[in-house]
Amino acid sequence: MPIISKRLQAAANLLTKCKSVADIGTDHALLPIHLVREGIAKKVIACDIAKGPLDVARANVTRFGLDDKIELRLANGLDGLAPNECNQITILGMGGETIADIIGAADWVRDKNVTLILQPMSCDDRLREYLITVGFEIITEVAVSSQGRVYTVIKANFSGDRKTYGKEFKYIGKLPQSNSDEAKAFIKRRLNSMKKCMAEIENIERKKALYDELKAATKTIEKLI
């Protein structure tokens, strides 16, 4: 069985056993293979925008005898998925803004019965900001260390409520609640990058709003670590 990365495993851990899962940006289909073989999903629809990785995915799926359990689709984002085909969707290994764009292009995921598992490689703050602005609720977050970096994995679904959060929320989300060493490392790294940004923009008048936001957020984060 292929050994999936800690990053993919963290995402798999946030899924509940179900009939069907969609994996968007599946690459070589390692996560779908894991989900089926572990009994987490009876079927996986694995989508990727690039033919090359999908060809490798097809070879992997065939090698493990899962052609009848994993359906491969060449598609951009959620374009290859019909509403109600899956109620759990993973979108992993992309920039936070790209993930937000994918979600924003498919209105049907704004459904309380659809759960999203998201793993941004960058710009996680912009992804959180997007989610809460349009009415998604972040249910939980976990941090995971992989290849020398610490990432966050977000579980969210649509509530329709545009809740008000503190200024620190978009930067660290619900990671303080996990209280893991990885979460603490993520928060400390984020705090350092925020302070560095503040130092760079402190005397730039047009950046005053951002500076004030960062200042307020860092004060709150410092109390949490």
Nearest to residue 36, comparing CAs of 5, 12, 53, 11? 12
Regarding whether 146 and 196 lie in a shared domain, the answer is no
Mean pLDDT of 178-203: 95
Mean of all residue pLDDT scores within the chain: 95
- Does the pLDDT at position 1 exceed 70? no
Separation between Cα atoms, residue 141 and residue 174, nearest integer Å: 6
Regarding whether 139 and 186 lie in a shared domain, the answer is no
DSSP 8-state class, residue 163:
-
* pLDDT tens by residue, 121-144: 999 999 999 999 999 999 999 999
Regarding whether 136 and 46 lie in a shared domain, the answer is yes
Regarding whether 118 and 22 lie in a shared domain, the answer is yes
DSSP 8-state class, residue 194:
H
Chosen domain end from 163, 180, 215:
163
Regarding whether 119 and 15 lie in a shared domain, the answer is yes
CATH number of the domain at 128, please: 3.40.50.150
Separation between Cα atoms, residue 179 and residue 171, nearest integer Å: 16
Regarding whether 180 and 156 lie in a shared domain, the answer is no
* pLDDT tens by residue, 84-114: 899 999 999 999 999 999 999 999 999 999 9
Tell me what pLDDT residue 224 has.
85
Regarding whether 175 and 158 lie in a shared domain, the answer is no
Mean pLDDT of 146-174: 94
In a domain, 1, yes or no: no
Tokens encoding 144: 């995971």
Regarding whether 119 and 203 lie in a shared domain, the answer is no
Regarding whether 156 and 183 lie in a shared domain, the answer is no
> How many domains would you assign to the chain?
2
In a domain, 21, yes or no: yes
In a domain, 67, yes or no: yes
Identify the burial level of 59 via C-beta atoms within 10 angstroms of its C-beta, where 0-12 means exposed, 13-18 middle and 19 or more buried: exposed
For 160, other C-beta atoms within 10 Å of its C-beta total 11
In a domain, 224, yes or no: yes
Nearest to residue 59, comparing CAs of 2, 12, 3, 9? 2
In a domain, 90, yes or no: yes
Structural domain including 181 reads 165-225
Cβ 132 vs Cβ 138: under 8 Å: yes
Separation between Cα atoms, residue 221 and residue 225, nearest integer Å: 7
* pLDDT tens by residue, 38-88: 999 999 999 999 999 999 999 999 999 999 999 999 999 999 999 989 999
Partners of residue 43 on adjacent β-strands: 20
DSSP 8-state class, residue 147:
T
Regarding whether 188 and 154 lie in a shared domain, the answer is no
Regarding whether 137 and 56 lie in a shared domain, the answer is yes
Regarding whether 69 and 140 lie in a shared domain, the answer is yes
Compare 106 and 225 and report the one with higher pLDDT: 106
Tokens encoding 177: 């609640």
Nearest to residue 149, comparing CAs of 116, 117, 124, 115? 124
Q: What is the pTM of this model?
A: 0.94
Chosen domain end from 141, 163, 185:
163
Chosen domain end from 163, 190, 207:
163
